[in-house]
Structure 1
Amino acid sequence: MAARKATALDVAKLAGVSRSAVSMVLNGNIKGNVSKDAQERIRAAAKELNYLPNPVAVSLRNQRTATLGIITDEIVTSPFAGRLVSGATNAALARGYMILVVDTEHIPGREGPAIEALQHRRVDGLIYATGSLQPYIPSGPFRAQPAALANCFDPEDRLPAVVPDEVTGSRRATELLLELGHRRIALLGGDDDNAALLREQGYRSAMDRAGLTAGDHQVIVTGWDINQGYRAAESVLQEPDRPTAILAANDRVATGILLYAATAGIQVPQQLSVVGYDDQQNVAANLVPALTTVALPHAEIGAIAVKRVLDELEGSERRTERVLVPCPLITRQSTAPAP
């Protein structure tokens, strides 16, 4: 015969509290009615008895499903920002919520039905997340219930938006090269999208602060892929007064630069320092030499976006300001003092 499952009454008896106190604590409805000591005893008793509240019953009482819906444009189906969903999932689980994810793969017309499908499943809140930093115009469902944006922003700031601090990240990377004595620093940028422009802003800010004039700035629109980085490096590094350091649009462009340098016999970092951007998983740390880069804090972005939605669900006022998440500089072997 199977062992009897523990009940809320069993937890209450072991913890020495009322059954209603157990219900309040384990369902997240404390609101100051249960002392901290009692809360700890209840959680310890629940753990000892391996007791979990019935999710269906909790859902019926709270009129909630304890699920959040995330719609992404390409995160699930591309290798570049999966940590965002991972960070969101961990933050949700820590507060008793599950995540449902739909990836539109940039297919026109897929987003609307995806939102409808999530609402049909009665998700308690919505998050829209993008693989690259960009504006997003939220539709009615996002404005009608707790919602947030991750790695994107509403130009009219009607929703909370959690985005990387691209300007400071790029400025800090440039400052590292300046501190190493480099003055001929080239930026091989992405294109004219939001992230590229912000990274250029950080680069120019650091160069200006170091007393270098606009004539000392070298910004080349390159693109985002390995072959584009290779071609741009081939052009820039054949100049007589070639740069001693390059700040790349991302780690893929930096990979192209390293490949060209190896082909041309240019030693990295002895003759050329290279800095990437993204700290792309399974790439940056495994290049030869290992790549100094600016990390995009995707996991933190996902976690903070979930926190904003859950806080609103629990009664906090909607805060629509943009949250800038720091982009840490990861120093590895591809940077050294200027030759």
Structure 2
Amino acid sequence: MSPRARISDVARLAGVAPSTVSAVLNDVHGARVKESTRDRVRRAADELGYAPNALARGLRTRRSGTLALISDVIATTPYAGQLIQGAQDAAWEAGHVLMVVNTGGDAAIERRAMAVLRQQQVGGVLWATMSHRVVPAPVPPNGTPLVLLDARDEAGAVPSVVPDEEAGARAAVAELASHGHRRIGFVLDRNDSPASEGRTAGYRDALAERGLPVEDALVARAQSDSTGGEAAAGVLLDRPDPPTAIFAFTDQMAVGVYRAAAARGLRIPADLSVVGFDDLAVLAQELRPGLSSVALPHYAMGETAAATLLRLVEDPAAEVPALQRVPTRIVRRASVGPAPRA
């Protein structure tokens, strides 16, 4: 291994004083350094693999240059990669490192994590959950800035970043309605949560806006997995007047809709159209036909939450939105077709 580059090495390569290197790489406010010189210093630092000593800088400024992302089980779910990547990219762009702690929902580990973060002088904490829900507000160490990610606190007192559930459901219904479907069913999680409430509201609003029937009989609730989706879809498809399209609360429930359709000799999309929610590539792309699905904006959510947290790190009194809803988008595949004739 080559010896670690020092600030004097960067200064020598860039042809400037070490103090200039320090001012540029530490973004010293008010430092009068030409942009051409700044570029030369950054190129020299990149060439030598030099980075400012975050610990030493933290001792001077009482800031560690580190943010933390604490989650219950998100780091072990298919959603985690993009969520963490978005937060990490925003942190890195601002000169911070992101530390990820997965607690597995264990309260003892959560307490231990907070104690460690206190010792590390972490500048801010992102608290993330596996799915959009209401949580008791965690207490970060020493009043450290806190932002909730894919969650809201009971009192609404902590800044939160969540997906726009209602808009996503409206987009799903709009996709089905645009293909001529008039009776659109909804297989829904049996548990109440911000996600189920938001998607239900979006589903009902989209139907009402188009003058389509809004019937409780077109909504079936079950466990939010493929088994539950199959059972709920079966209830809808066995009606005397079954829907010609089904919106599924999750892609996993959509897998069950496919099974229920196949068991009844129905072809997708010739006899039944389906739209899911989540856009889990491992499911949506592998189903035959491919599943159209509303994609959750995991990267943008992580990026937005980290940017909000960084504002609070720089200025604890900064005004930030109490709740930010990040737009979703629909990913079209082959599971939606024209409504079949009666």
TM-score, structure 2 as length reference:
0.90
1:331 correspondence with 2:332: yes
One-letter amino acid of the counterpart of residue 334, structure 1: S
One-letter amino acid of the counterpart of residue 330, structure 2: L
After superposition, the Cα gap between the structure-2 partners of 1:193 and 1:6, relative to the gap in structure 1 and judged at 3 Å, is closer
Gaps of 5+ in 1: none
**Aligned residue in 2 for 1:50:** 49
SS in 2 for 1:283: helix
One-letter amino acid of the counterpart of residue 305, structure 2: A
What whole-Å deviation, never above 9, does each CA across 1:65-110 have from its counterpart, x for those lacking one? 2222222122123444443223223332333333322223233444
Give 1:51 shift: 2.7
Gaps of 5+ in 2: none
1:107 correspondence with 2:101: no
- Kindly indicate whether the alpha-carbon contact (under 8 Å) linking 1:67 and 1:124 is maintained by their aligned counterparts in 2: yes
Alpha-carbon distance between aligned partners in 2 of 1:200 and 1:305, rounded to the nearest angstrom: 25
**Aligned residue in 1 for 2:58:** 59
Alpha-carbon distance between aligned partners in 2 of 1:37 and 1:30, rounded to the nearest angstrom: 17
SS in 2 for 1:224: coil
**Aligned residue in 2 for 1:134:** 133
**Aligned residue in 2 for 1:149:** 148
Alpha-carbon distance between aligned partners in 2 of 1:11 and 1:109, rounded to the nearest angstrom: 45
Give 1:337 shift: 1.4
What whole-Å deviation, never above 9, does each CA across 1:117-162 have from its counterpart, x for those lacking one? 3222322211110111112332442681222110012343332211
Structure 1 vs Structure 2 CA RMSD: 2.4
**Aligned residue in 2 for 1:198:** 198
SS in 2 for 1:43: helix
After superposition, the Cα gap between the structure-2 partners of 1:231 and 1:211, relative to the gap in structure 1 and judged at 3 Å, is same
After superposition, the Cα gap between the structure-2 partners of 1:172 and 1:120, relative to the gap in structure 1 and judged at 3 Å, is same
1:158 correspondence with 2:127: no
State how 1:141-290 maps to structure 2 within 5 Å. 141=140, 144-191=143-190, 192-215=192-215, 218-290=218-290
One-letter amino acid of the counterpart of residue 337, structure 2: A
Give 1:264 shift: 2.0
Alpha-carbon distance between aligned partners in 2 of 1:142 and 1:237, rounded to the nearest angstrom: 53
One-letter amino acid of the counterpart of residue 59, structure 1: G
Alpha-carbon distance between aligned partners in 1 of 2:218 and 2:247, rounded to the nearest angstrom: 10
- Kindly indicate whether the alpha-carbon contact (under 8 Å) linking 1:75 and 1:82 is maintained by their aligned counterparts in 2: no
One-letter amino acid of the counterpart of residue 314, structure 2: E
1:303 correspondence with 2:303: yes
Give 1:224 shift: 0.7
SS in 2 for 1:90: helix
Give 1:25 shift: 1.9
- Kindly indicate whether the alpha-carbon contact (under 8 Å) linking 2:220 and 2:233 is maintained by their aligned counterparts in 1: no
After superposition, the Cα gap between the structure-2 partners of 1:155 and 1:32, relative to the gap in structure 1 and judged at 3 Å, is farther
SS in 1 for 2:262: helix
TM-score, structure 1 as length reference:
0.90
One-letter amino acid of the counterpart of residue 319, structure 1: V
- Kindly indicate whether the alpha-carbon contact (under 8 Å) linking 1:148 and 1:161 is maintained by their aligned counterparts in 2: yes
Alpha-carbon distance between aligned partners in 2 of 1:3 and 1:205, rounded to the nearest angstrom: 63
One-letter amino acid of the counterpart of residue 28, structure 1: D
SS in 2 for 1:128: strand
Alpha-carbon distance between aligned partners in 2 of 1:84 and 1:308, rounded to the nearest angstrom: 15
After superposition, the Cα gap between the structure-2 partners of 1:32 and 1:170, relative to the gap in structure 1 and judged at 3 Å, is farther
SS in 1 for 2:282: coil
SS in 2 for 1:329: strand
Alpha-carbon distance between aligned partners in 2 of 1:33 and 1:155, rounded to the nearest angstrom: 47
Alpha-carbon distance between aligned partners in 1 of 2:280 and 2:227, rounded to the nearest angstrom: 17
**Aligned residue in 1 for 2:68:** 69
1:11 correspondence with 2:10: yes
What is the number of equivalent residue pairs in this alignment? 338
Alpha-carbon distance between aligned partners in 1 of 2:199 and 2:12, rounded to the nearest angstrom: 59
Alpha-carbon distance between aligned partners in 1 of 2:234 and 2:140, rounded to the nearest angstrom: 49
One-letter amino acid of the counterpart of residue 194, structure 1: P
Alpha-carbon distance between aligned partners in 1 of 2:263 and 2:214, rounded to the nearest angstrom: 31
- Kindly indicate whether the alpha-carbon contact (under 8 Å) linking 2:218 and 2:236 is maintained by their aligned counterparts in 1: no
SS in 2 for 1:133: strand
What whole-Å deviation, never above 9, does each CA across 1:241-277 have from its counterpart, x for those lacking one? 2111000010000001112212222100111100000
Give the share of equivalent positions with the same residue, in percent: 38
SS in 2 for 1:76: helix
